[in-house]
């Protein structure tokens, strides 16, 4: 691995290479560290386990580039960047998507998106109206679940649609009530 890379980056790149060959559940820390050219204890100085490493990769590659855009009238561009980032490494994310159970890919993605939305909503409050009766945490969870569901379904479907089209689909669902959809289906 490149000496100019941080240890975190080396471990991440090693992990990504291994994910392309084997299911995440079968990858060992020893394999990750050997490929990265570091000793096993080094891994544990940086990450608790391979699932935390996967979360770090998602945060570094997908979430960090869009974090400053969310909540600043650039959410659609951020979503497009998110979809494009996944598409850029389609093989890795398609294989990572297969991770199920306690540390599922789905739960990691949901947590990462929730965290970004919490930062965007931080310091804001609803003093009156319907939003004042909602918990901001519930609101964040609702939008995070809808964003992650669209993303995960797209991965499951083989990423056949373009990132731009996925943003249009998400925006349609986000901007229309269920009644609006029913009316459109009747026409």
pLDDT in tens, 135-148: 788 888 999 999 99
Q: Do the domain assignments include residue 179?
A: yes
Instruction: List CB contacts of 156: < 8 A, sequence separation 6 or more.
Output: 97
pLDDT band for position 121 (50/70/90)? confident
Local structure of 180: helix, strand or coil = helix
pLDDT digits (tens, 9 = 90+) for 61-113: 999 999 888 877 788 899 999 999 999 999 999 999 999 999 999 999 999 99
**Which of 53, 59, 14, 5 is CA-nearest to residue 33?**
14
CA distance 175 to 167: 12
Tell whether 41 and 72 lie within a shared domain.
no
Predicted confidence at residue 75, as pLDDT, reads 82
**Any domain includes 158:** yes
Within a domain: 55: no
146-186: pLDDT as tens digits: 999 999 999 999 999 999 999 999 999 889 898 988 988 88
Q: Is residue 72 part of a domain?
A: yes
The verdict on 105 and 180 lying in the same domain is yes
Domain range for 140:
68-186
Average pLDDT of span 121-143: 78
Give yes or no for residue 2 having a pLDDT over 60. no
Residue 57 lies in a domain: no
Q: 171 Cβ partners below 8 Å, 6+ apart? A: 76
* CATH number of the domain where residue 5 is located: 1.10.10.60
| Average pLDDT in the chain | 91
- Which of 91, 104, 20, 4 lies closest to 54 in space, CA to CA? 104
pLDDT at 185: 87
Which residue shows structure tokens 């459109």?
184
26 pLDDT more than 60: yes
Judgement on whether residues 82 and 174 belong to the same structural domain of the protein: yes
pLDDT at 94: 98
Residue 63 lies in a domain: no
Distance CA 68, CA 32 (A): 31
Handedness of CA 108, 113, 117, 120 (dihedral sign): positive
Give the model's pLDDT for residue 187.
67
**pTM score of the predicted model:** 0.89
Q: State whether 31 and 84 are in the same domain.
A: no
Residues 97 and 174 placed together within one structural domain of the fold: yes
In the predicted model, what is the mean pLDDT of residues 128-137?
Answer: 74
Question: What secondary structure letter does DSSP report for 26?
Answer: G
CA–CA gap between residue 3 and residue 35 (Å, rounded): 13
Number of domains into which the chain is organized? 2
């Amino acid at each position: 691995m490149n000496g100019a890379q941080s240890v975190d980056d080396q471990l991440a790149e090693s992990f990504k290479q291994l994910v392309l060959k084997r299911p995440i559940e079968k990858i060992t820390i020893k394999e990750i560290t050997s490929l990265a050219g570091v000793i096993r204890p080094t891994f544990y100085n940086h990450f608790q386990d391979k699932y935390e490493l996967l979360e770090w990769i998602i945060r570094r590659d997908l979430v960090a580039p869009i974090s400053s855009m969310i909540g600043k009238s650039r959410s659609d561009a951020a979503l497009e960047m998110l979809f494009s980032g996944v598409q850029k490494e389609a093989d890795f994310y398609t294989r990572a998507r297969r991770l199920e159970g306690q540390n599922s890919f789905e739960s990691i993605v949901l947590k990462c998106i929730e965290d970004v939305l919490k930062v965007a909503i931080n310091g804001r409050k609803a003093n009156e109206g319907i939003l004042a009766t909602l918990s901001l945490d519930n609101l964040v969870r609702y939008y995070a679940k809808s964003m992650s569901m669209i993303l995960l379904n797209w991965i499951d479907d083989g990423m056949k649609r373009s990132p731009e089209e996925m943003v249009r689909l998400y925006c349609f669902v986000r901007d229309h009530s269920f009644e609006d959809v029913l009316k459109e289906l009747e026409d």
